[in-house]
């Protein structure tokens, strides 16, 4: 009976650890993770996307795609600058609650949490560099777009605007 309870307790712990560990995607990797990256695994593919505002404006960005766990953990870590038209698009397998932090991030970022169709449903403005406070989505998100801090305010990008990219299957939709 003792072994049975021990097995149940161990399985409960593993379930909890998997749930907690899988629910937080770090905007930047913890220093303990840096040594575990495989060669080349943190290299990002580049692509373009557009943000279409409800006011009819369209803004174009050159983005790096973070699709693997290694890329998503590495994120924007240790970068000292970011162009106004640059960003990083974190793409996940389906919608889910997302959480990021700014540990080892040296520049402020705007984080745009995106639904499955590319609609911006939450913006966290000017995330503070090196802050370990968790930044979470308010709704399940398919992707998160990080832009230079302050760009959403500067361009008038708001919740309800749409990110156009192949991952959302909304490229080429008539205006």
pLDDT in tens, 115-146: 999 999 999 999 999 999 999 999 999 999 99
Confidence band for 42, pLDDT divided at 50, 70 and 90: low
Predicted pLDDT at 172: 59
CA nearest 108: which of 85, 76, 63, 71? 76
Domain spans of the chain, in order of start:
24-168
Confidence band for 59, pLDDT divided at 50, 70 and 90: very high
Fold of 24-168: Jelly Rolls (2.60.120)
Predicted pLDDT at 32: 26
CA nearest 47: which of 133, 132, 154, 168? 168
Confidence band for 43, pLDDT divided at 50, 70 and 90: confident
């Amino acid at each position: 009976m003792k072994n049975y309870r021990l097995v149940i307790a161990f399985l409960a712990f593993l379930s909890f650890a998997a749930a907690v560990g899988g629910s937080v995607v770090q905007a930047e990797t913890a220093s303990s993770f840096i040594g575990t990256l495989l060669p080349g695994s943190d290299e990002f593919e580049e692509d373009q996307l557009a943000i279409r505002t409800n006011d009819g404006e369209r803004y174009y960005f050159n983005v790096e795609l973070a699709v693997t766990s290694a890329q998503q953990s590495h994120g924007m870590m240790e970068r000292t600058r970011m162009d106004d038209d640059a960003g990083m698009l974190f793409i996940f397998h389906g919608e889910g609650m997302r959480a990021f932090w700014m540990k080892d991030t040296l520049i402020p970022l705007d984080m745009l949490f995106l639904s499955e169709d590319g609609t911006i449903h939450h913006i966290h403005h000017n995330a503070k560099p090196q802050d370990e406070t968790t930044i979470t989505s308010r709704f399940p998100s398919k992707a998160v777009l990080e832009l230079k801090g302050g760009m959403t305010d500067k361009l008038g990008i708001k919740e309800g605007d749409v990110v156009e990219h192949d991952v959302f299957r909304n490229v080429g939709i008539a205006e």
